Structure 1
């Protein structure tokens, strides 16, 4: 997992090919810190997803760039395009189902083209 300390690092990560998951949090958000280990556990089920996190208080311009109005925000990108966005109230079962659908569609497509 990568931790981003600048907009440049974040932009490079999110624009790479493949599946990219970004966890946006704030250091003073207890929900962000409590939820993060649970989200990490779910993401372990999907080994082809690259994971990164960023704290808004470290890189405040992230909020405007990603249109973040509340935290936590969970984003999944496929080949640089936002595919899933979940903010504030995260239902872990629903999140896992959404990721699974996208993940299996993406990995099946990759396997078919090889």
Structure 2
């Protein structure tokens, strides 16, 4: 299972993105049942990509995250490569499609 870094401030998020070339941000809210259901599936999926680091952000704690990443609802999943957004999924995620996209991006980056 993939380790999850809990990010509780904008500065922590910025540091996380600078420290890890391949970052995956999972932005959720505590009262979101979809958010709670997707996180375990996401951790399992990302365990197949050893270079990707997973950061979790509670949007109710870090309210500035909505403005920084233009987020309108939760959950939101962002793949950030070298501090640039390459993939965005939100609300209802098709994990087969997400895996296909991750495979392509990961393979292109690691070659």
TM interval, short-chain normalised = over 0.9
Q: Answer yes or no: is the 8 Å Cα contact 2:20–2:53 preserved in 1.
A: no
Pairing 1:1-114 to 2, within 5 Å after superposition: 1-108=4-111
For each residue in 1:44-102, what CA deviation from the matched residue of structure 2 results, as whole angstroms up to 9, or x when unmatched?
01011011110001111111111000111000011110000011110000011111100
Distance 1:16 1:97 in 2: 26
Per-residue deviation, 1:14: 1.8
* TM-score in terms of structure 1 length: 0.91
Deviations 1:10-52 (A, max 9, x none): 1111233521000000000000000110011000010110111
- CA RMSD of superposed structures (Å): 0.9
Question: What 5-or-longer segments of structure 2 have no aligned partner?
Answer: none
Query: Aligned residues, how many?
Result: 108
Unaligned stretches of 5+ residues in structure 1: 109-114
The structure with the larger Rg is 1
Q: TM-score, normalised by structure 2?
A: 0.94
